[in-house]
Amino acid sequence: QKEVEQNSGPLSVPEGAIASLNCTYSDRGSQSFFWYRQYSGKSPELIMSIYSNGDKEDGRFTAQLNKASQYVSLLIRDSQPSDSATYLCAVNLWDYKLSFGAGTTVTVRA
């Protein structure tokens, strides 16, 4: 079983819609979770971090964490063409290692 799994995508959404990205993780002891955005040919950029069960909102982004279900999600509201990128879910394991999913590619069509 992979440590972190994301819905495979690609995900295509119309401009202005909500994009919903999902991530599950295998280590029940995981404590911190991150979402990174990666544009084609660029490096990952941290956009959200979440440590407690529930929702965390930052602008148009909302991260949701459910530790009992070992599930973390990212919602992008009012999607814009500039949101077109690959979104990486990362889980902090063993205090020093980030384990990443393979990423979900989002395309926002005008």
Partner 1 sequence: DAGVTQSPTHLIKTRGQHVTLRCSPISGHKSVSWYQQVLGQGPQFIFQYYEKEERGRGNFPDRFSARQFPNYSSELNVNALLLGDSALYLCASSAGQGRNTEAFFGQGTRLTVV
- Give the footprint of partner 1 on this chain (CB under 8 A): 4, 31-32, 34, 36, 42-46, 49, 51, 88, 90, 92, 94-103
DSSP per-residue codes, 57-72: EETTEEEEEETTTTEE
Residue 17 or 56: which CB sits closer to partner 1? 56
Q: How far is the CB of 14 from partner 1 (least distance, A)?
A: 26
Nearer Cβ to partner 1, position 14 or 29? Answer: 29
Place of tokens 């599930």: 71
Residue 61 Cβ, how far from partner 1 at the closest point, in Å? 15
Mention every residue, 6+ apart, whose C-beta is less than 8 A from residue 56: 48, 50, 62, 63, 64, 65
Give the chain's count of helices (H) and strands (E).
Answer: 0, 11
Q: How far is it, in rounded angstroms, from Cα 87 to Cα 21? A: 8
User: Taking the complex as a whole, how short is the minimal distance between the CB of residue 17 and partner 1, in angstroms?
Assistant: 25
Choice between 70 and 99, CB closer to partner 1: 99
Min separation Cβ 79 and partner 1, Å? 22
